[in-house]
Amino acid sequence: MRNLKYNIYNLFVLGAMVIAVSSCKKDGNPNNLPSVSASSYEGKIDGYLSSDEVYPKNLVAYWSFDTDNKETKSGVAPTTAVNSSLVDGGVKGKALNLSAGYLYYATQLNAFKTDSLKSFTISSWVQILNNGSKRTMLFTIARPGIFNGSLDFRLNTNSFPSTTTNILRVGPRFTTVGGGSQDNLNNSLSPIIGADKWTHLVLRYDGTTGVFNIFGDGVNIGSFNNRGVGNNLFKSYEPGEIIIGAHYNNIPGKSTNADVTFAAMTGKIDEMRVYNTILPDAHIKALYNLGIAGK
């Protein structure tokens, strides 16, 4: 009888333990969420398989430079291409190589019309050196006959000699609703550059707050980010033209004055993307990490 009572007690304890374990398992997933498989994340970087998956609905202009110089969303080809070629060794596939060259698009892109572009993020990979004498215009939404564009993605390659590869001053500017000018500069932080190093540069502008950021290799490096609202907000004027690698004054017959601040670009460009929204920091970092991985 004693052994029977002992066995009954043991069964009671065992049953209580089973119930307790079952209860713990249930409490560990109180909302009955579906299970997650590690295989779903294989090959992904920051949640993405490629740069093409980053904010695709807001990507309004894209130059891959894999097969030609067309802007892929509109299919618009450059009106003029000078000292340019497509070469192997890009961040993804081929890249645009400029030897004191540029691409000029005289066609107004719908994505850059006044009512279409309020906020933006512009991402581009470059291989470039300082030159100690001339600025480089990486990308501009130019205004015919006017020196300053609606947006000028300027690289102050004039600031240091070519031997300086630990500092690149990025000095973008834009024209405001009131007709004035706002800019930014990376006074203290800088990405590393080099003739054979791909450097990721990003401009991000919030058309509601007036905050204008510069990123270099995934890091926010700008020094003068708050550019104001009201008449200080960015405006994409019409008509607008696109120039990659040069200023109007570098294009024969298009000069607006005698200013010789800029020289046509010598270097490489790849994966130039324009979004009509502000990409969060984590997604800018993802574009950098994906590019480093060739994705």
Is the CATH number of domain 47-292 2.60.120.200? yes
Separation of alpha carbons 62 and 275, rounded Å: 9
From CA 202, how far away is CA 287, in angstroms rounded? 10
* Mean pLDDT, range 109-126, rounded to an integer: 98
pTM above 0.85, yes or no: yes
Q: Is the pLDDT of residue 206 over 80?
A: yes
CA angle 262, 143, 227 (to 5 degrees): 80
Asked if pLDDT for residue 168 goes beyond 50, the answer is yes
209 pLDDT exceeds 80? yes
Q: Is the pLDDT of residue 158 over 60?
A: yes
CA 146/CA 169 separation, integer angstroms: 24
Is residue 137 left, alpha or beta, with left meaning phi > 0 and alpha meaning psi from -120 to 50? beta
In the structure, what pLDDT confidence band is assigned to residue 246 with cuts at 50, 70 and 90?
very high
Residue among 160, 218, 224, 220 at smallest CA distance from 194: 160
Is residue 159 predicted with pLDDT exceeding 50? yes
Mean pLDDT of the chain: 91
Is the CB of residue 274 less than 8 Å from the CB of residue 140?
no
Q: Dihedral of the CA atoms 230, 235, 238, 244 (nearest 10)?
A: 170
The mean pLDDT of 178-192, rounded to a whole number, is 98
Whether residue 98 contacts residue 127, with contact meaning beta carbons closer than 8 Å, is answered with no
Return the percentage of the chain with pLDDT > 70, whole number. Answer: 86
